[in-house]
Structure 1
Amino acid sequence: MPTAFLSGSLPNSSWGPVRKIRGTSVHHAARARGVPVPAPVRTAGGQAWADDEHGVPWTLLEFLPGRPVEPVTSHLAEQAAARLAALHRLPDHLDTDAAAAAGVRVVAPDTAWDRWLTAPDQTWHEVAAVAGRHRGLLNAYRIHLDRLHHRTTDTAVLRAPTGQVWGHGDFHGHNLLHRNGRISGVLDLDGVGRRPRITDVAYALLMLARAGSGDYRLNPRLLRSIWTGYQSNAAAPLTPAEASGAWAAMLLSQLPDPAHLDALARTGRGLVPALARPLAALRDLAAQRTRLTGLLLAEETTP
């Protein structure tokens, strides 16, 4: 019977001391507010993580009972969205003992999510340098990147400097647990950071409402359940501008991350799956923009 999870990161990734403290702080703050995230188990020295011989930080997390949320039902989708809204209600500043001891105030920005918006040419060159002989796959992203930058109205809410929350960053069925008809765990807060809440909500819509693995046709019933669960539990309801930006946020979530690809390459892992899988989502999203945006905006006006 397992008693704990191990959480780590790829070598040469960006897990510095501030990010370690930030992740631990979010765990504690979320648990204090009833979000079922696993508690870090401290070392004999009182730390919530330990570095291995390669400098990779590892955290021992308590075991949470339950099974991954797959298949996704309307009931579980609505509950999952409520948990996401609770995470988004965490205060902007997370002052903990670990942060105070390190002289850190935990409000560090997370800028990686918006690189394709703010520096698309530089990001393209960085990804191309890592992709190497797989540049043919990378070239298939060009049309989707162009679509993103042509939808300036849709991306306006993503570029706004205000309204950011502590976002999960990877909110999908295998990072959620359910037991006895309830969401019993929210896992993998390694990607937590400050970002517009619609980026998290949009990714949850994409991953929890898709028809199945590799099939990103979105189920309207599940979309409504997720939207309702979030709206009913958010600190403030999502706005029509955020609803209009959901499709762009979904598209943005599927563009390649140069840091992740570089970490995969350094550990000898193949880049083809990491470059090929998101293209299926992008193709399906391209055909659903009008219907998706219309559905979400209709939910906004439903009494």
Structure 2
Amino acid sequence: MRGTAPPTVPGVVALIAAGQAELLDGRGLNTSYRVPWGGRSLSVKVHCAERSSAAEFRRIGSVDSALRGTAWYPPVLGQGFHGAERPRLVVVRPYAPGTPSDDARRHIGGVVDVLADLAARAQGVRAEEALVADYASPWLEGAPSERSLVDPLLTGEWRGLGRAMDTHLGELRRGARRLTSADGLRVHHGDLHGRNLISDGPGRLTVIDWDEAGFSRRPADAGKALWLSCRLGRGDFALDPRATGLFLGRLRTRLGIPYSGARDLARLGALWFLPRHDHVTLLGRRDTSLGTWYLGWVLRFWTRFRANLDLVARTAAALEAGAP
């Protein structure tokens, strides 16, 4: 009986196909559902066909092994491939009840605590090279190719994105390289910010959306979280000086990231906001409006980048001057 049996990929897919699942909002490449199973709710992520691979299967499984037992982590209950012609990876986890926050600044303490746990959980983990990558990897390993591929998409109103890439790419790559350590393996969530921290009462927190999970040799989660956790509001990228100071201070205390590295941390995180051809085109295939929405979103990031980078540098310098 379904009430006592553990969830299976064929079982949850059948419920989705029968219209017995709730489609959850999202603008990513993958599709999320809330599925009833034996009196409880499951979170089911159906990955797009282009991102469904044996390596993704192993990546999610390896991260799951490293993080099982962590209070804020929803473990994998089942995963497998569905479909014959274009198999899609399906991942089943417990559904996290609670509320995400529209103001990620409220979760800075929780975000940094999770970052510290991710670094600690990687101690002693041995990950195959195919599972070690993050959003910076394509730009460090093949920037000319990535830039050339996306260029045909950056016409008309998006020409400013091309100019931003040409202006900043070199310094972003140099900053990311300075933060890369051959021995510094850490578990990588890939999209750690307030909306992915679900609160269900005081002290109860669940981290969701493990689509991009893997391993990294850079503080890539911290770099991206700096931009997504310290901005004044969603949809814009003006950093809040107070939140930025709180974030950098907690990073220094919990992870030992020095204030002198704050500017490079911001450069590393900024690589995530560079448009990539495959990402933009896959978004457009899912919904024609998503590709243009995404380009406009990242363009707003780059219009404020230099002023925000200077704010990070000033904040870090002030913190360092007052540090004990």
- Normalised to the residue count of structure 2, the TM-score between the two structures is 0.76
- Alpha-carbon spacing, 1:240–1:211, altered in 2? closer, same or farther (3 Å): closer
| Aligned partner of 1:191 among 212, 230, 250 | 212
1:94–1:106 Cα contact (<8 Å) kept? no
| Aligned partner of 1:225 among 225, 246, 256 | 246
Name stretches of at least 5 consecutive residues in structure 2 with no aligned partner. Answer: 1-35
For 2:98, the equivalent position in structure 1 comes to 66
For 1:263, the equivalent position in structure 2 comes to 282
1:19 is aligned to 2:56: yes
Give the letter aligned to residue 87 of structure 1: L
For 1:144, the equivalent position in structure 2 comes to 164
Partner secondary structure for residue 64 of structure 1:
coil
Higher relative contact order (CA 8 A, sep 6+): 1
How many residue pairs get matched?
Answer: 282
Where has structure 1 moved over 4 Å in runs of 4 or more? 92-95, 104-107, 150-153, 158-162
Q: Distance in 1 between matches of 2:162 and 2:218?
A: 26
Q: Distance in 2 between matches of 1:56 and 1:272?
A: 25
Name stretches of at least 5 consecutive residues in structure 1 with no aligned partner. Answer: 43-47, 96-103
2:74–2:208 Cα contact (<8 Å) kept? yes
Alpha-carbon shift at residue 18 of structure 1 (Å) = 2.4
Q: Distance in 2 between matches of 1:294 and 1:28?
A: 40
Deviations 1:77-130 (A, max 9, x none): 1122111221122226647xxxxxxxx95872216533234432211222235x
- Normalised to the residue count of structure 1, the TM-score between the two structures is 0.81
Alpha-carbon shift at residue 5 of structure 1 (Å) = 0.8
For 1:216, the equivalent position in structure 2 comes to 237
Q: Distance in 1 between matches of 2:63 and 2:173?
A: 32
For 1:179, the equivalent position in structure 2 comes to 200
2:112–2:251 Cα contact (<8 Å) kept? yes
Alpha-carbon shift at residue 293 of structure 1 (Å) = 1.6
Determine what percentage of the aligned residue pairs are the same residue: 19
Alpha-carbon shift at residue 181 of structure 1 (Å) = 3.1
- Alpha-carbon spacing, 1:156–1:240, altered in 2? closer, same or farther (3 Å): farther
For 1:99, the equivalent position in structure 2 comes to none
Partner secondary structure for residue 140 of structure 1:
helix
Give the letter aligned to residue 255 of structure 1: L
Q: Distance in 2 between matches of 1:188 and 1:12?
A: 18
1:77 is aligned to 2:77: no
- Alpha-carbon spacing, 1:73–1:291, altered in 2? closer, same or farther (3 Å): closer
Alpha-carbon shift at residue 239 of structure 1 (Å) = 3.0
| Aligned partner of 1:119 among 120, 142, 156 | 142
Partner secondary structure for residue 237 of structure 2:
strand
Q: Distance in 2 between matches of 1:85 and 1:37?
A: 14
Partner secondary structure for residue 110 of structure 1:
coil
1:57 is aligned to 2:96: no
